[in-house]
Amino acid sequence: MVSGPVSGGTLEDFIRERRRGKDILLMTHIVLGYPSFEASVAMVDAMVASGVDLIELQIPFSEPIADGPVILHANQKALAAGSRVARCFEVARELCARHAIPMLFMSYTNIAYRYGFDAFARDAAAAGLRGAILPDLPYEEGAELLAAMDAHALDPVFIYSPNTSDARMRAIAKRARGFVYCVARKGVTGADTDFGSLDGYLARCHAATPLPLALGFGVSDAADVAGLVGKVDIAVVGSQTIRVIDEQGVDAVGAFVGGLR
């Protein structure tokens, strides 16, 4: 279904309201321009029609250090095909206008730096994005970008990992808004994850922040999503969607996402 932009209220408000009707929310991920911008739009349309709650729109970057080989390959192919930041903003604006769920940019700090921190936050917010995930942005060094995001009501989504200390989790929580993204293990995206061993880690995450929690890195099927019910608010599926595109084509994305719960 194609519908208008998401209504007012904060990203956190949206998540909490949406959670009243669902055991767990689903956030999916695309690389803008992979395999083409037309395909990116079609995939988001299919994801929304299949019931996803939030979507990460990744601006391709040449050195995506948090991403494993699957998403790295998609970044490289998108850049080789001509994906550029200005076009990503244009398509993001179109997608935000078409769909009544929050969209977030995901990329790396160099993209925002080269664009200009204030301009990046201003233009992302003007396009309708609700937040940005920049996994290589240390909260201690991001004052200029964070101030720009605050000025333009763009939520900074920060990351916890299993080796983040309790003290650092609490410090990060003071800067985070919208939700906190908990990575399921050390390393990069796309590898298998033992979801049965997360209880202690997630208890630490909940103790550190009152914000909703998302969990990603290795979530690939309905069993993984079901196993996270009652533990986090949002399950994040990224690399597996790219695998579906590579193996079955863009037209298979809707059925894959629809089968995740």
Catalytic residues: 56, 67
pLDDT in tens, 16-42: 999 999 999 999 999 999 999 999 999
pLDDT in tens, 244-257: 999 999 999 999 99
**pLDDT at res. 191:** 46
Alpha-carbon distances of 18 from 24, 62, 124, rounded to whole Å: 9, 35, 23
The residue type at 42: A
Q: Whole-model pTM? A: 0.92
Tokens of residue 159, six digits: 């990351």
pLDDT in tens, 128-163: 999 999 999 988 989 999 999 999 999 999 999 999
CB atoms within 10 A of CB 147: 13
Crossing angle of helices 117-127/85-98, nearest 10°?
30
Domain ranges in the chain are 11-251
User: H or E segment at 88?
Assistant: helix 85-98
Strand order in the sheet with 213-216: 155-157, 131-133, 103-106, 54-58, 25-31, 234-237, 213-216, 180-183, 159-160
The CATH superfamily of 11-251 is Aldolase class I (3.20.20.70)
